[in-house]
Structures are given as structure tokens and as C-alpha cells.
Amino acid sequence: MGLPGLLEIGEFDLKITRKYYWLPGQTQIVLKAKEGLVMPQCTQAILQIGIQSGKAVMLSWKGMLTFCFVHILSILSAQYTIQTNGVFAPQYQNPVTLPINPDEISDPLAIGFDFDFFGNTYSQFSISSNGFISFQVAGESGTQPQTIPDPDDPNNLIALGWGALLPDYIEISYETMGTAPYRSLHVNFFMEDYVEPSPCTSGYLLIGQIVLYETTNIIELHTDYWDGGDCSKPSAQGIENENGTTAFFTPGRNNVLWTASESLVSFLPDDYTDLAIISMEPVLCEGLRDIRIEVQNLGITTVDTFYADWTWDGVPQDSVNVYTSLPPNSITEVVLGQKALVSGTNYLLQAWTYDPENQPDHFTPNDTITGPVRGGLAGTYTIGGASPDYATIASAISDLVSHGACDTVVFNIRNGTYTEELDIPYLSLITGAVVIFKSETNNPANVIITSNYTSGSTNRMIEINNASHLRFIDLTLKVTGTVCASVVYMNSYCADIQFTGCNILGPTCNSTSTSGAVIALFNGQKDDIRFENNVIRKGSYGVYVSPGSSSFVNDLVLEENSIDSAYRYGAFLNRIQGMNVIGNTIFSPSTSSSGIETNTTYGPTRLERNNIYLPQGTYGMRVYRYNYLTPSSPDTNFVLNNMINLAGAVSGSRSFSIEQSNKVRWCKLQGRIKTVCRLIRSMFLQQICMLVMAPLTMREMPSLHRSWLTLTGKTETYLHRT
């Protein structure tokens, strides 16, 4: 325990190797030099330290202080920092149920490890059915909650929701998880009162978990649900020391009326120090390159000094001393050194930090990072033809997966037919890099990528799974065979993917199955996906988008595409936030086919200049549940200048339908004979221009304008022209 180094008169950070904390209102401590260490003049050295703005300030000194070691003459009580910005995530494995009655406290139970609390170490705790745990020996159950701190019993406690609960049903359990030295104690509360007098006729419910962490001594309070505040049940949430003189409580939850759901409050000891390596550069270009890591301060005090060691292909490298001001939650980049990289070669990096502020790191599992550093691809490569860089597209993708890209990569595909099934998984790309697959001659007719399927129900020629930053330009992508199949299938998270100037040709698929969608976006969030100036042909759907019930596709663009002969839908677009569907031509001769349907969509949307011809069709354009759950959203769906021709061969066909939607503005709809427009359970709709129901003619209908603004309930409005 000591304070090595030169101490100067003035303001400085107090750095000690043991944990000491400041009490609220603490004004000073006294440090005395230890006799016989380093220099004899330290013998009589005395410092008087005060606390100003969170720093130790020398108030007076006596004797020579150069290179002295000091002893703390008085131990100060601990202090905690409260955090409320964490993620509510209680954990359960196999908890032990504790038999307990209302207004009762249990006998001591084993924590499973030593836990420091306000400067004292405990190995046992007790549980009160009034919503807290305690380290107090023979403590009270806490029949009436207190405003903490309070010197009256009970003390030395951690309260999830300490109140005069007396519930009708109690279920309390506990368990210790993990392995030393990072185990955790989890105490679970489920307490319900069925009926209480007014105003709480339906009773109240407390569900939550208290968590204590070994080594770090962090305390977490996970409140799943507490509605006692609606039932005139005050309660306290916080921690209190052994004599009831110091407490830290969640703001607004100290023996008052409050409610909460899925809330996490953490109490971190003020000495808590934790540096984490959060990233490394996995791909670098050929040549002599800096090897870098990113380090984040997850502790609660500023770190000015720490150290890093590393190995390269298992060989130890020179240590790095880092001197920088790193406030809590901030991130710094550390250059470990330089290495010569060769493109297409993989190297192994392991790096770790230690001794922040010359003290042990309280949580070491996040101190180390290990992973490959790749000499990535960059520049232009050829596929196929004479003396190519890669004979097949699949071999180029394999190399890209193995080594990543340190800059933009262009694969020029030479003229020919490539019978291949392509799987593109996650790619390690440096920020700003994209990967381009394109026809070398810029003519899609010259490069044909094809597969033939005669069996199976999940056939996918190009499957993009959790990959991003891809471009496909001027290619013919063609599936043949006797069964339904997808040409392009995107799965899991994908972002920044573009298909431009391609022929995307599916097989004939006279089915409503989504496995036959020519372009399919499934299962997981997608960001910035664009299809522009493509020919999309056949399949059960031309474009099918459905990322799942908990995900959205953000910023979808379908522009200037020709979508031809899809059996069921030209484009079915489900769960999208922000999209432009502009200038597309859609044709299908199939009976009961539909042009464009948007389903459960939000964000700025434009359906504009689309030309839809479905001689046997049911729906031309359907807007279903736009802003369905957010009627006050500032976003708008603009439907502008579309030509829709259904011919009316199918009874009940509708050129344009808006259902259960909010804030849709539509203008200049042109339709063919015997088509119908309808609105169902839709609000805040604006027909701001004109509606056309006769071939190639336009007629203003101002008398309908106001009557279509606020349709509610189950009202249906039909416009007919016969």
C-alpha cells in the first residue's frame, strides 16, 4: 500500500493501491510517510489532504516528500456511483426456493463468495419478505420501510423495493452462478397482493432480482415490475451501510410512491476500475502497417495510465505504456507497434491491458482480445477467361471470406456462362470498402450466372447471409429448372447492398409459396438495400420482403425496374421503415395477381410513377397498415402519378386500396375500366389532386376531397366508373 512518486504542492490525483472511499462531507484525511523507506527524510513527512471537486488537494505538508511511501492513518467509508443506463437482463438457472412468510427475515444464507459492502467483507446474507436483503446479524424484517439512511434497525441492507408489503403470495429464491473469481448471487422476488382497499382494488405486484458480483462488488437491482405506487404503497430502493449513517438510493424511489417496469439500477464502488479492449483491426492492406486496438474505460473514474502487452503469431512483442486521459465510458486507440503484412496472408494477434492507474483491473475477462489480422484484398481482380485471378466466382468469394478487404475490391467477370451456386457470408471489410461483382464489358448479356433445380423447396442461387457492402452490376442471374427457387436470397442482418442493371430471372413458379420469390429478403434487419434498373422476371413473387415480426428493413429502394410475369405479387413489401418504390413497370398475366402491396410500414415513403398492368389482377396497389400504430407520426406515405390497369376481368378487383393506414397522400391515380378504389378503417388520408377511372383521361373530383379525409370505424368507400 503506497503512494510512490514525486508529490508536488498543489492539486493532484490521489493514487493508492487499496480501496478507500470518501464520505459525503468528508473534508480531509491525514497521510504519514512510512519510516525507513527509500529516503530517511520521509520519516517526518506529513500531508494533510482535502477533497475539492473530486480530487485530492494538498492542504499542508511537512518534511521532504520526494519518493516517499505513505500509510493511510484512517479508513474512510465506501462511496458508490449509481448508474441507470444499463440493460435490464435478469438471469436464472436453477434457483433454490426459500420458504418464508410475510414480514419475516430468513436465517443467514451463504453468498457463495466474499462480497465487499461499504468497506466490510461478508460471506452470508439474509432475505426479508419485505423486499430487501441484509448483511446484519439478527436484523429485523423491516415491517415499516424507512427513508434511508436511518440509524434505526434494520441496516446494512440492499433494497429492491422495501415496503410494508404483506403480500398474499410470496415466491423468493436465490442461487449463485458462474466460476471464481467472477461469480454472482441472484436473489429473486415475486410477491403479489391480490386485492387491496381503494384505490388499489386489483392489488399490487413486485417482481425483480438483486444481483451481487464477486471481485467487482457491483450491485444490480433489476425491477421487472412494481406497481405499489399506484396502490399507496411507499417503498425504498437503494443500499444502506451497517450503522444507517450512509445510503445511496435510486432517485425518486426512497420511501415514496413509485412504479417501474424492466428497470436496471447499478451501484458501483468508487474504486471500480475496468478497462476493456473492445476492437482490433482485422484487415489491413499489404505493407508496413500500424497494429491498433481500441480500449474503453468501463470504470467510474478517469484513467491516466495503463499498460498493454501483445503477441504476434505467438511471439511476445514490446510492452506499450499508455499515458492519456481516459474518462469513464470514453474510448482511445492504442498503437501497439508496426508489422509488415502480405496480401492474402493471415496473422494472429493477441493483446491485453493491465494495471490501470497502477492498480489491478477489477474485471479481467474483457482485458484481452485475440483474433486474426488479415492481409486483405484490394484493387481489381478478374474472374474467368484467359489467365484470370480466379477461375470461378465461388473461388473469389472464398478468398474474400478468408482474407477480407482492406479497400474497395472489384471483381471483373469475363464473358461466359458460370454454373455456380454462391454463398456469401459475413465479410471482414475495412470501413468504407465495398465489394463489386460486375461484367467486364458492362453488358449483362455477356455474363450469365446460372443454376438449375429439379427438386427441393429451399433452392437459392445467391444467398447473402449477414454480409454487407456488396454491389452486383450488369450481370445476368438466371435460375432454370422445374421447381420454384430464389435467385437472390438475403438472410440475417445485411446492409448496403445494391443490384444495378442486372437481369434477375427466376423459373416459372405457379405457386403462392415464398420459396419461389425471385428476390427474397427474410429473417432479420436489413439496411439500405437497393434494386435499380433491373429486369426481374417470373417466380411466385418478383420481390418479397418480410424480415420477421421483430425486425424491419430500413431504407429500401426499388427504382426503374421491370418486374415481369410474377405469379402472385410483383412486389410484396412487409415491415419496412422508409422506402422509395419509383418508376417500376409491373406486368403479370396470372389470375388474381397483385402489383404492389406495402404491409405494416413506417417512415418516409414514396410510391411514385409506377406503371402496373394486370389484365387478370386483383389488386393494383394496396397500402395496408401504414403508420398503423403511430397515427401521430410526422412521416407520410406519398402515392403519386401511378398508372394502374387491371381491366376489371376479375370480380371485385381494386386498382388502389388503402386500409388501416394513417397519413397517406395520393395524387393522379390512373385506372382502367371497371376498377375500384376503396378505403377501409383509414384516417388522415388526403386525396390532394385528382382521381382517374377512365382510360388515359383525367377528371377532377373535388366533391370527394373532403369526404375522404377522416374515415374511421369500418366505413368502406367505393368509386366506380362503368
Q: What CA dihedral angle connects 664, 669, 673 and 679, to 10 degrees?
A: 10
Reported as a single tens digit per residue, the pLDDT across 406-462 is 999 999 999 999 999 999 999 999 989 999 999 999 999 999 999 999 999 899 999
* Residue 203: per-residue pLDDT: 82
The predicted pLDDT at position 33 comes to: 35
What pLDDT is recorded for position 76? 41
Q: Which of 43-52, 158-167, 395-404, 428-437 has the lowest average pLDDT?
A: 43-52
**pLDDT given at position 660:** 81
Task: State the pLDDT at residue 248.
Answer: 95
CA 320 to chain centre: 33
Closest C-alpha among 539, 558, 650, 633 to residue 596: 558
Confidence (pLDDT) at 37:
32
Predicted confidence band of residue 569 (pLDDT cuts 50, 70, 90): very high
Question: Amino acid letter at 450?
Answer: T
Task: Work out the average pLDDT over 164-180.
Answer: 94
Strands 553-559 and 569-582: parallel
pLDDT of residue 85: 86
Q: Is the pTM of this model over 0.85?
A: no
For residue 73, is pLDDT > 80?
Answer: no
Cα first-last separation, the chain: 95
Phi, psi (deg, nearest 5) at residue 429: -125, 140
The SS3 of residue 431 is: coil
For residues 137-145, average pLDDT: 91
Of 45-59, 185-199, 486-500, least confident by mean pLDDT is 45-59
Predicted pLDDT of residue 32: 37
pLDDT of residue 715: 27
Average pLDDT over residues 142-159: 95
- The pLDDT, as a whole number, for residue 510 is 93
Reference 258, options 145, 140, 166, 150; nearest CA is: 145
Taking 70 as the threshold, does the pLDDT of residue 484 lie above it? yes
Residue listed under C-alpha cell 415490475: 225
CB 656 within 8 A of CB 680: no
C-alpha cell at 229: 405506487
| Least confident piece of the model among 63-72, 128-137, 468-477, 689-698 | 689-698
Whether residue 254 is predicted with pLDDT greater than 70 in this model: the reply is yes
Query: CB-based burial of residue 573 (10 Å sphere; 0-12 exposed, 13-18 middle, 19+ buried)?
Result: buried
Three-state DSSP class for residue 657: strand
The pLDDT value given to residue 650:
74
User: Mean pLDDT score of the chain, rounded to an integer?
Assistant: 82
Segment 498-554, tens digit of pLDDT: 999 999 999 999 999 999 999 999 999 999 999 999 999 999 999 999 999 999 999
d(CA 530, CA 507): 22
Per-residue pLDDT, averaged over 609-629, amounts to 89
Residue, of 6 and 471, whose pLDDT is higher: 471
CA distances from residue 374 to 425, 480, 516 in whole angstroms, order as listed: 17, 38, 38
Please determine, for residue 78, whether its predicted confidence score (pLDDT) is greater than 90.
no
pLDDT given at position 667? 58
Number of Cβ within 10 Å of residue 186's Cβ equals 20
Q: Mean pLDDT, to the nearest integer, of 305-320?
A: 97
How far is residue 661's CA from residue 462's CA, in Å, rounded to a whole number?
Answer: 35
List CB contacts of 152: < 8 A, sequence separation 6 or more.
146, 244
**Which span out of 19-23, 36-40, 417-421 was modeled with the highest average pLDDT?**
417-421
Q: Would you say residue 190 has pLDDT above 80?
A: yes
User: Residue 71: pLDDT band by 50, 70, 90 thresholds?
Assistant: very low
Instruction: Please give the average per-residue pLDDT across 199-211, as a whole number.
Output: 86
Nearest in space to 483 (alpha carbons), one of 520, 457, 514: 457
